[in-house]
């Protein structure tokens, strides 16, 4: 039996074990062409997640809840002192923020999601999880290198891949906050910054001073291709190392950056 088949069987078994209404979850997992709508998945540990059918919302859930793609980041957050701040850039439907709030009950989570469809889903998922949801401050803004307004492109099939540099999808005008100003506004201490901004990470790196980065002890980073084709992934990571971060690969598609103790 191949590794892919073993992992697929393991995921199906874990879905059955962890989700009360597992037939609904399996239908979302197996039938991606379902008619557009929403489904509530009720986990046996009390966590609830509302996903959109006919989209890649399931993939987001799979990466975080089953493939554990942010495992190092969540473990790090769970060890931080009460009152520490977590910054979630590219909040999407709220899964990362809610997981942080559950893993670290004393943490304060500040999430930025500019797209109206994703923002509404994030709000719904906070309502579906009132305890951790109450400890999340959600702001309908993008975050980039400089403050401005610009177009944000919504991809209906892949909402999590929507962003400022989209090549397809419906555009809408959004406010963009400067990364340095967002970090400066956070209550101290800062625990972690998660960056999944579909290519805007390059302008954030280029337009943010080393002083701002020194205030950040750890970063959970999903690294994309540079939309302006001026910097490669290895160069980006080398520049983060030069700012004092040690880089570890997460299990699926992201990196965990942290400063040596």
Please state, in angstroms and rounded to a whole number, the distance separating the CA atoms of residues 249 and 261: 18
Q: pTM, whole model, 2 decimals?
A: 0.94
Same domain, 46 and 111: no
The CATH number of residue 195's host domain is 3.40.50.150
What is the pLDDT at residue 1?
A: 46
Same domain, 80 and 27: no
What is the extent of the structural domain holding 102? 69-258
Domain ends where: 39, 67, 95?
Answer: 67
Same domain, 137 and 26: no
Domain ends where: 50, 67, 84?
Answer: 67
Domain ends where: 67, 89, 122?
Answer: 67
As given in the structure block, the two tokens for residue 36 are 């557009």
Same domain, 182 and 94: yes
Same domain, 81 and 108: yes
Same domain, 11 and 58: yes
Please state, in angstroms and rounded to a whole number, the distance separating the CA atoms of residues 119 and 92: 7
Q: How many domains does the chain have?
A: 2
CB 140 within 8 A of CB 130: no
Helices of type H across the chain: 3-18, 22-30, 57-61, 71-78, 95-103, 116-128, 130-133, 179-185, 201-206, 210-214, 233-242
Mean pLDDT of each 10-residue bin along the chain, 261 residues long: 64 95 92 82 98 93 92 96 96 97 96 96 98 98 97 89 84 96 98 96 97 98 94 97 96 86 60
Please state, in angstroms and rounded to a whole number, the distance separating the CA atoms of residues 222 and 202: 12
Please state, in angstroms and rounded to a whole number, the distance separating the CA atoms of residues 131 and 30: 31
- Residue 83 has a CB neighbour count (10 Å cut-off) of 12
Same domain, 155 and 201: yes
Same domain, 94 and 220: yes
Same domain, 111 and 29: no
Same domain, 44 and 170: no
Same domain, 127 and 166: yes
Same domain, 126 and 234: yes
């Amino acid at each position: 039996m191949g590794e892919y088949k073993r992992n697929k069987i393991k995921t199906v078994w874990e879905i059955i074990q962890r989700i009360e209404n597992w037939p609904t979850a399996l239908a979302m997992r197996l039938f991606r062409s379902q008619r557009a709508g929403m489904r509530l998945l009720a986990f046996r540990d009390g966590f609830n997640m509302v996903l959109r059918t006919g989209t890649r919302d399931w993939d987001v859930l799979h990466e975080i809840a089953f493939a554990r793609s942010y495992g190092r980041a969540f473990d790090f957050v769970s060890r931080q002192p009460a009152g520490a701040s977590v910054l979630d850039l590219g909040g999407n439907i709220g899964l990362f923020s809610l997981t942080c709030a559950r893993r670290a009950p004393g943490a304060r989570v500040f999430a930025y999601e500019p797209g109206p469809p994703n923002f509404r889903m994030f709000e719904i998922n906070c309502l579906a999880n009132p305890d951790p949801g109450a400890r999340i401050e959600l702001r309908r803004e993008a975050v980039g290198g400089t403050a401005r307004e610009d177009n944000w492109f919504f991809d209906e099939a892949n909402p999590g891949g929507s962003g400022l540099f989209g090549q397809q999808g419906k555009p809408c005008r959004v406010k963009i906050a400067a990364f340095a100003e967002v970090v400066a506004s956070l209550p101290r201490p800062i625990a972690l910054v998660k960056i999944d901004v579909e290519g805007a990470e390059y302008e954030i790196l280029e337009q943010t001073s080393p002083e701002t980065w020194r205030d950040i002890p750890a970063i959970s980073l999903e690294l994309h291709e540079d939309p302006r084709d001026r910097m490669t992934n290895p160069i980006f990571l080398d520049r983060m190392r030069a700012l004092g971060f040690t880089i570890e690969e997460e299990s699926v598609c992201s990196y965990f950056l942290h400063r040596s103790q």
